[in-house]
Amino acid sequence: MTDIRNRRWLVFALLVALLVTIAACGGNAQNNVVDEGANVEENVGNNTETADEPVEEEVAEEEVGTDAGLESDAAEVKSEFFSQEQYDRSLRQLELQASDEIDTTIGEGLWEQVLEPEWVDTSEYAKEGPYTFCFSNAGVNNPWRVVGYTTMQAEVDLHPEIEEFIHVDAEGSDEKQISDIADLVASGNCDVLIVSPNTTAALTPAVEQACEELPVVVFDRGVFTDCPVSFVQPIGGYAFGHAGAEFIAENCGDDCKVLALRILPGVDVLEERWAAAKIVFEEAGNIDVIGVEFGDGDNAKVKSIVNDYLDRFGEIDAIWMDAGATAVAALEAFEDRGLDYPIMVGEDQQDFLVKWQEEGISGIAPTFPTYQWRTPIIAGMRILQGEQVPNVWRLPQFPVTQETLDQYVQPNMPPLHYAMCGCEGMPDFPERWGGQ
């Protein structure tokens, strides 16, 4: 198995930006659509439906203050990243997964299931094995992507028909990834090409050119083209933001003081998460958003922000986050003052899940599940064997709730391990993922 790796860590600022773009990355686009997080579904992260035009303008920072960003009409609630069609689709698919209306034709694993599939005939790509799978990766530069890539490698090992797995790490560079894809295609060695785009618009031409030569599967983040045979992605950013905001609105009392902690402005997936949350808060009637602050994914900065708001307002009833990597740092500000914990929106990172369980916090962990890294390998195998695949492989996206928390807390795993990896039953778990 060939693994072309170069895991040099980027400077902190880039690391943070990329962490945001995926986490939880994740990433939405729809096949060829920027959907939420991957440029982003999380946006494009992953894709199908009608593609939106690339966004060129950056979203202005929210004005901080009482009901910041919520005092206007519905139009103001929406940012330039917002798509009513995609938002409505996300809510519809959340309802479908809640009612178990999920297609399990391919398998029962969450990484095999699909919502509202449109099936594609792949008989033209059928060929005898063994196969060479090529993977152009945006990067392995944050914990979410490390867990995901480890899971993908484990999925490859489950398919003896895959003789060679060639992985090329773009290290967060559009230019390098464009070159990587061109080199992979030109080599003539790839039977199928899997792409996790670094950004949506920049990688679109490279993906389109690759589609002319071989079958392509895009996942995590999307591109502005429908040429890939399949686009893999969970429901996306709107679902993430909606889940956390809805939990707060339903579990907080009247005049609920909410602090919204974000990472960076202008990142599609995060803007979609916040757009969904704002809509929920606006409609709830009991929410007082006392501030919207950007913490840059920095634990110390987030803790300082929370302390500042506690000084100014005396109390915070709930904290909503567009990515939960700094959730524990936010909670430590309350611990230091001997205050009760707020209602907390985190993520499926082990450090938060463990604290949630140990301290009895009222919380929820929306997810952009890392089990999605298994699906492109499964899609590639089905394509090369001439079996149908969904044009947009829309995976279910369940949050971790109080009712399901115990099954996801894994004290034997590293603090930065993501619980929704779908890897627990795979060979060499937990050691391969850094567990004991």
Give the C-alpha separation, 386 to 379, whole Å. Answer: 11
Residue 359 DSSP label: H
Task: Provide φ and ψ at 343, rounded to 5°.
Answer: -60, 130
Are the C-beta atoms of residues 238 and 275 closer than 8 Å to each other? yes
- Show pLDDT as tens, one digit a residue, over the chain (436 residues): 444 433 333 333 334 343 444 443 444 333 333 333 333 333 333 322 223 333 333 333 343 444 444 443 334 445 567 899 999 999 999 999 999 999 999 999 999 999 999 999 999 999 999 999 999 999 998 899 999 999 999 999 999 999 999 999 999 999 999 999 999 999 999 999 999 999 888 999 999 999 999 999 999 888 899 999 999 999 999 999 999 999 999 999 999 999 999 988 876 778 899 999 999 999 999 999 999 999 988 999 999 999 999 999 999 999 999 999 899 999 999 999 999 999 999 999 999 999 999 999 999 999 999 999 999 999 999 999 999 999 999 999 999 999 999 999 999 999 999 999 999 999 999 999 999 9
User: How far apart are the C-alpha atoms of 267 and 112, rounded to whole Å?
Assistant: 28
Q: Which of 255, 246, 239 is nearest to 316 (CA)?
A: 255
Burial bucket for residue 314 (CB in 10 Å: 0-12, 13-18, 19+): exposed
Position 390 scores a pLDDT of 98
Torsion of CA 27, 98, 351, 158, to 10 degrees: -70
- Read off the tokens for 77: 């609630």
> What pLDDT, on the 0 to 100 scale, is given for residue 29?
37
Residue 267 CB neighbour total at 10 angstroms? 30
pTM: 0.81
Cα–Cα distance for residue pair 67/286, rounded to 1 Å: 11
| Predicted pLDDT at 142 | 86
Q: First and final CA of the chain: distance in angstroms?
A: 25
